[in-house]
Amino acid sequence: MTDILDPESCEDMTQVRAGVDDVDRQIVALLQRRFGYMDAAARIKPDRGAVRDEWRKADVKAKVDAEARRLGVDPALCERIYEDLIETSIAHELGEFDRSRAG
């Protein structure tokens, strides 16, 4: 197994790929955790209309934009990723809301 190095320490593509694979595993684990919060929100929110919250969507995007700028990550890239992530999260939450109250 290849040790996971910081990007600036990589000297060959095996090291780069190991680092990317490690980051991808972490991202998937974080997505699982994030969607767990969507499940909790679906359980807690009193009605289906509360699932889509445009103020909260704007707030999340503003916080992501600020963090991207702080870290020197392309804000436009984060905007595209988070637009999709938030809309997917809303769809997931709506589905979970409906499933939890069916029957």
Of 89, 25, 36, 33, give the one whose Cα is nearest residue 60.
89
Token representation of residue 55: 């103020």
Which 8-state DSSP code applies to residue 3? Answer: P
What pLDDT score was predicted for residue 103? Answer: 72
Predicted local confidence at residue 53, as pLDDT: 97
- What per-residue confidence (pLDDT) applies to 14? 97
Mean pLDDT by 10 residues, the chain (103 residues): 90 98 98 98 97 98 98 98 98 97 86
| C-alpha of 69 from chain center | 17
Per-residue pLDDT, 1:
60
Torsion of CA 30, 33, 34, 40, to 10 degrees: 180
Multiple choice CATH, 12-101, 3.40.50.720, 3.40.50.300, 1.20.59.10, 3.40.50.970: 1.20.59.10
Sequence-distant (≥ 6) Cβ neighbours of residue 34 within 8 angstroms:
85, 89
pTM over 0.75: yes
Q: Where are the domains of the chain?
A: 12-101
